[in-house]
Amino acid sequence: MIRHLLSGADLDPATATLILDTAAEMATVAGREVKKLPALRGRTVVNLFYEDSTRTRISFEAAAKRLSADVINFTVKGSSVSKGESLKDTALTLQAMGADAVVIRHPAAGAPHRLANWVDGSVINAGDGTHEHPTQALLDAYTMRARLGRIDGLHVAIVGDVLHSRVARSNMLLLTTLGAKVTLVGPPTLIPIQADHALAPGIEVSYDLDAVLPESDVVMMLRVQRERMAASYFPSAREYTRRYGMDGPRMARLPEHAIVMHPGPINRGMEIMPAVADSPRSTIVEQVTNGVSVRMAVLYLLLGGK
Ligand code: NCD
We report the CATH number of the domain holding residue 239 as: 3.40.50.1370
Cα gap 262→264, rounded to integer Å:
5
Distance 179 CA to ligand 1 centre (A): 24
The DSSP secondary structure of 208-225, one letter per residue, reads -HHHHGGG-SEEEE----
Out of 165-179, 227-241, 274-288, least confident range: 227-241
Q: Are residues 228 and 148 in the same domain?
A: yes
> Residues near 248 by Cβ (< 8 Å), separated by ≥ 6?
273, 275, 276
Q: What is the separation of C-alpha 70 from the centre of its chain, rounded to a whole number of angstroms? A: 24
Q: With a 6 A CB cut-off, is 170 part of the ligand 1 pocket?
A: no
| Averaged pLDDT, 86-92 | 89
Q: Are residues 47 and 145 in the same domain?
A: no
Cα gap 150→160, rounded to integer Å:
24
Query: In 3-state terms, what secondary structure has residue 25?
Result: helix
**Burial (Cβ within 10 Å: 0-12, 13-18, ≥19) of residue 156:** buried
pLDDT at 52 over 90: no
Distance 131 CA to ligand 1 centre (A): 11
Q: With a 6 A CB cut-off, is 136 part of the ligand 1 pocket?
A: yes
Residue 1 belongs to a domain:
no
Comparison of pLDDT for 195 and 242, the residue scoring more: 242
pLDDT at 82 over 90: no
Q: Are residues 36 and 105 in the same domain?
A: yes
pLDDT at 58 over 80: yes
Cα gap 137→113, rounded to integer Å:
18
What are the C-alpha distances in Å from 206 to residues 85, 213, 229?
A: 44, 11, 22
Q: List pLDDT tens digits, range 254-304.
A: 999 999 999 999 999 999 999 999 999 999 999 999 999 999 999 999 998
Residue 14 belongs to a domain:
yes
Q: Are residues 28 and 79 in the same domain?
A: yes
Residue 3 belongs to a domain:
no
Highest mean pLDDT pick, 54-58, 152-156, 234-238: 152-156
Which residues on adjacent β-strands are paired with residue 128? 106, 132
Residue 21 belongs to a domain:
yes
| Averaged pLDDT, 144-148 | 98
Rounded to two decimals, the pTM is 0.95
How many domains does the chain fold into? 2
Distance 306 CA to ligand 1 centre (A): 30
Q: What rounded mean pLDDT belongs to the chain?
A: 93
Structural domain range at position 194: 134-283
Q: pLDDT value at position 261? A: 98
Which residues on adjacent β-strands are paired with residue 150? none
The DSSP secondary structure of 144-195, one letter per residue, reads HHHHHS--TT-EEEEES--TT-HHHHHHHHHHHHTT-EEEEES-GGGS-TTT
